[in-house]
Amino acid sequence: MAKTQEMAQRPSTDPRVRGPAEGQAQRARESSYALAPPADIFEDADGIGIMLDMPGVTKDRLTVKADRSELVIEGDASIDMPTGMEAAYAEIRSAHYRRSFTLTNELDADAIEASMKDGVLSIRIPKRAELKPRHIEIQAT
């Protein structure tokens, strides 16, 4: 797992349900641990659609970056936790999500749209207009 400078500096949120007495070093070590959100990917005539499960992530804590070859999704979940709570059991052990997809050049990376609702991120990657299947009119003679 490549750990970039950017990731290392990202403000870490407390992901897990656990006590407050954990040390800084441990926190720093865990901040690089990212969950890959499960994805549904489909294609129709206009483009590719992706849906990702990212519970706890809001619009302002999400980045979707695309260049010609790669689409990178990163987000941090914010989870309301009362002060003084002690951890008892945890199946989700990180609040940082990251997943990337390879883009190919028939897709229009400049026209990607994304929306977030109830912890589900929906992304739409349109195909370049010149590559969409065209309906060809048959002229009556």
Partner 1 sequence: MFSSQPGNGGLIQEFWRLEQEMDEMLGRWAWPLGIRSTARGTFPPMNIGVTPDNVEIYFFAPGLDPKSVEVSAQRNVLTIFGERQVPARTETTWFRKERFEGPFRRVINLPEDVASDRIRARYQDGILYVTAERPESAKPRKIEIS
Q: Which positions touch partner 1 (CB under 8 A)?
A: 16-18, 22, 26, 38-45, 49, 51-58, 77-82, 84-93, 117-120
Nearest distance from C-beta of residue 82 to partner 1, angstroms: 5
Distance in angstroms (rounded) separating the CA atoms of residues 141 and 125: 39
Burial letters 79-111, b for 16+ CB under 10 A, else e: eeeeeeeeeeeeeeebbbbbbeeebeeebbbee
> Closer to partner 1 at the Cβ: 66 or 77?
77
Q: Least distance (Å) from partner 1 to the CB of residue 106?
A: 15
We find the least distance from the C-beta atom of residue 123 to partner 1, in angstroms, to be 13
What is the secondary structure of 98-136 as a DSSP string? Answer: EEEEE--TTB-GGG-EEEEETTEEEEEEEBPGGGS--PP
Nearer to partner 1, 44 or 137 (CB): 44
Specify the residue, 24 or 26, whose C-beta has the smaller distance to partner 1: 26
